[in-house]
Structure 1
Amino acid sequence: MKQKTIFTRFIQLWGIVFLIGTGASIIAIDVIGSYRVGCFRADQMRTNYIARQKQIIKQEVLRVVDMINYEKEQSTALTRTKIKTRVYEACSIAENIYQQNKSSKTAPEIQQMIIDALRPIRFEHGIGYYFVHHLDGMVILSGDKPGFEGLNLWDMTDTRGQYGCKDMTEIINKSGEGFYEYHWTKPNSAGNDFEKITFVKKIEPYDWYVGAGLYVDDVEKQIKADLLSAISRIRFGEQGYIFINRMNGDVLVSKGHLFSGTKKLWEVFNKNPENMKSLFDKEYNIALKPGGDYIYYSFVKLNTLDKESPKVSFIYGIPDLQWFVGAGVYIDDVENDIALMQGELNSHIKEDTLCFILISMGIIILFLFWFSRFNRRLKNDFNLFSSFFHRAAFSYELIDRDLVQFDELDRMAEDANKMLWERKKTEEELRCLRNYLSNIIDSMPSVIVGLDLDGKVTQWNNAAQRITGISSDAALGLSLEQAFPRLVSEMERVREAIRTREVQIDSRQVRKENGETRYEDVSVYPLVANGVEGTVIRVDDVTEQVRIEEMIVQSEKMLSVGGLAAGMAHEINNPLSGMMQTAEVLSNRLTRSDLPANVKAAEETGITMEEIQTFMEKRKIIDMLGNIRESGSRAAEIVSNMLFFAQKSDSSWPSYHLADLLDQIVELAGTDYDLKKKYDFRRIKIVREYENDLPLVSCESGKIQQVLFNILRNGAEAMQEYSDGSQQKTPCFVLRLVHELEAGMVRIEIEDNGPGMDQKTRKRVFEPFFTTKPTGSGTGIGLSISYFIITENHNGKMSVESIPGEGTKFIISLPVKRRRL
């Protein structure tokens, strides 16, 4: 037998190990903690440094962007001021010439002097010139295109389709002067699509205006050159500078140098062109973001051209100029401070480690002294417990707790004594629990079948016994195929539940029982707890639940259809009223000669009302207008019936003439037309046989009309199918209303000449979900709901009479006075 460890020696040994381990752990925790603090402080220094530098470079970039935008705005204003001043100078020249010569020279001579004075004038490095136009579009002077002089440019457009001459003339006529932007030719440049800002002003006393302009690209070129030169001199921090690239990769400003803009970024920094292209792609994507963003990469510093350092830059795009502006900071500048801090931390860790080692050695010496005294008392109690457990193996003798010295061991002795008695009690409770669980399972209405891994029955409740006729004792140990044959198809899902440890549920299984369709939910539950593996199959009959759900769905569909019909009826009424009113107005205006307005309008056009009426009669327009009004009235009546049918019933149950309700529903059914051409209600002959002086009947009109509509539609479909077969009868409904005076009821009879029903069908016609239509064509609840409405809601009677081949007659009797149910 293997030698056992002495417990007291074990405690002594592991006590020392514990103390040494605790001391080592404290040292390790302190070292690790210090290391983590150092790492945290280093990370925090890096994070704070990067955050501050990121804020700085963003501010620098945005400051440069603001400077660019400001210079652009100021340059535009300055340009406008320049050309406006030039035009005013030209007007002053013309005014002086006119005033000095108006008394001595003719107007043509003065005009020529003005033209000769303005023609040679050039400004803005020779690209600025004057032009003079007449207000009718005639070119008087063209400093750029002398060949245009004498031509009329009124209908001439620039390359963007602007009528420059017309637009400038409109400015002169409206304000006397103003700015205008268009696209035109440029001196010493090919093409005619140069954007130009022009100022025009009228020359008194002639119908002339003089203008001058500057080209936008020349202004922008000078602005860009000045801006780039200023930006290239910007510095911040030790290594900070602004860089600007074009969106196509051309370098404009980088590392404090100004470039011509003809070289790509990867051509200027060509040690690794592929990396530079990749960097440019990232910068380009960032520049497309509104508000700009940061980018991380490696790049050489200003004072070290052979080594790349990690860098973060802020990029901001300026779409108008096709530029993006950026500034960056080198992340590794903070590493020197971090290295100094880590050296100080290492020294601190060495000092703490030596201190903890000395403390741990002192604690171990104290522990050994204390344990030598504790060990003697502990051995005595262990000897007592050893003898007790030796006796407890073959007897129920209790522990003498007075001999136990330590409180913890005394509680163990108390628990050991309780264990003997609780074991007996537990065994009794286990037997009761088994019986209780068995009763619960047997009382459940669901079929419960337990299976082991081999598919053998381990549990069989009363519901399973009632369905199969096999008792629980006989079923236990049988295979599922032997005990419950119709559940054999579930074996695949049983294996799946065991494999996946997931519940397998198959809802709404359909089966036939005595010619009736039944629905079942079959659930398979895996058993994986407490070392027991297998499955439990539960079968629930949900036939009534399925039928109730189907009735609820159908009722909701009927409510939705009613609401839709009401909505459509309201929407149709508005244009229908307008159509009928317009037809009436047309008839009055075209036929009534007694209206003064009609006579006056006819005389103004050179005809008489008699001639109009003669024409209308010959072309039968009056009849056509009458047909419009008649058709509109017909449509309005149909809409009114739809609204009446769709409206919610009033809980007060007013009284109605059943003849009116029946006529309204027939009128509404006349609009029912199957899209698949199964039937057209309008082709059915209607015969009415109503008694006179019928009393009013208290009822819910909407529900009664629902019943009548169901009967009429079912009959119409049946007659259509019957007439499409070998029989050639004309479909016909006979509607009867009879007062049953003694019974206090009014009887409604709806008779058709369709195919009729045999006795078996007639007996089941009011059963829920019974239908003779093909699958998908009917739910089988229409007549059952109708029967419920008549018999339960209105305390009436409903029956059916039918002879195969001769037709069907539904009979409904409603009490004249409402009787509370």
Structure 2
Amino acid sequence: MRNTKDLERITPLVWKELKTLGVPFFRCGIFIIREDEQMVHAYLSSPSGDSLAALHIGFDDTEVAIIQPALTNWRLQKDYKETWNQSEFIKNSKTFMKYGQIESVQKYQAGETPPEKLVLQLVPFKQGMLYVGNSEPLIEEHIDLIKTLAQAFSIAYSRYEDFIQLELAKVSVENALSELQTTQTQLIQSEKMASLGELTAGIAHEIQNPLNFVNNFSEVSKELLDEMLEAIENGDMEEVHAIMADVIQNLEKINHHGKRADAIVKGMLQHSRASGDKKEATDINKLADEYLRLAYHGLRAKDKAFNANIKTDFDESVGKIDVIPQDIGRVILNLITNAFYAVNEKKMAIGKNGLDHGDLKGLTTYEPTVIVSTKLLDTPLEAGGERKGNAVQISIKDNGNGVPDKIKEKIFQPFFTTKPTGQGTGLGLSMSYDIVTKGHGGELTVETIENEGLSDSNSGRQAGTTFSIILPINTI
């Protein structure tokens, strides 16, 4: 059951099951009741067992007399019985025809002459009512058999609803990915958001894995549901339950990976919008780790030769602090991207000129390394008076070539860049500085050791650059 046609196809199967159970009847059907739509979807069979009509009737409809009592008893999960005489049968047939839901009165009554009497027995299940029509009232034994069939149908229909949700989730993820690609195109044209262009391939890498799981498991579930229909038709309830267990397991996996893809897309779209000035409690360790991974995958996708040793050292006592996550995330992203650029430039220079050459003289081995760490501080600010409470430090350290002293004081100036033309806007560090200092009352500092090889034999310090973001915890 994957659409309306599938539900129409299930009516003859219900007919067959009723015949197998020995229930006396000449009409049957399924009423699917949707509170969210305020609609009753009725799928009816003909006296010969064929699918007759699909009726879609609103809750507020008063012309179709059976709708209101059916709704009342379904909400109470009680059986309901109603008897139509010949004139009432003709009246309801004409009502259905007026709505354009049946082709003719003759088709509905299955002949030239309508039945003299129709006893409608409705049995509730979670999603609606199973309807059985007979010329005489049913005995309790037959009603119990109908109830068993109704519960079996309810389980199968629950799997159908799960599959529909899966299909919707799949479409939602695909639409979100398309929206993400459109958003990325717009971001590339904005200098303020140019740093996010580095994440294009990284985001695609991150989202492709859960999307693949959604696609694969949805296809498998689709096949399983087809098999379950056949099992229902064959009356093999043991096989139905076995297939249901597999579908449930698949849906749990799809739900997990769908949520992962959804979180990635929402995060990306969130960081693409204007952030305003709203601070919220944010897990700094998680934020730093997420951007480290995305930046790395982004560079790897653009340059397969790129590689670097990544290390993290997160202080678990940091917890959550009040920041504007979109802005601090942008700062972390910019600093990590710069660190990767620095170690890659050094590696390429070594590849071209070799070790122990020129500015790298004395270097005997080199492994590009970027370290992202956090630390809880309780020291006062050097400027601006004493800090009330603790602060958090986020450090991004690389072992690249370092920053020359002559340009160190300029790196936070707008439009200043050391990258070749076309590879940098010169706004990344200046924007980062403003976000940290003006937007969060913190500090953005840089420490660097220029071209001293792997380490300084006198100080033991490692060559490279460390940017530190210091955020006061009590800034609201």
The structure whose Rg is larger is 1
Same fold by TM-score, threshold 0.5 exceeded?
A: no
* TM, length-normalised to structure 2: 0.42
* TM, length-normalised to structure 1: 0.26
Q: Which has the higher contact order (CA 8 A, sep 6+)?
A: 2
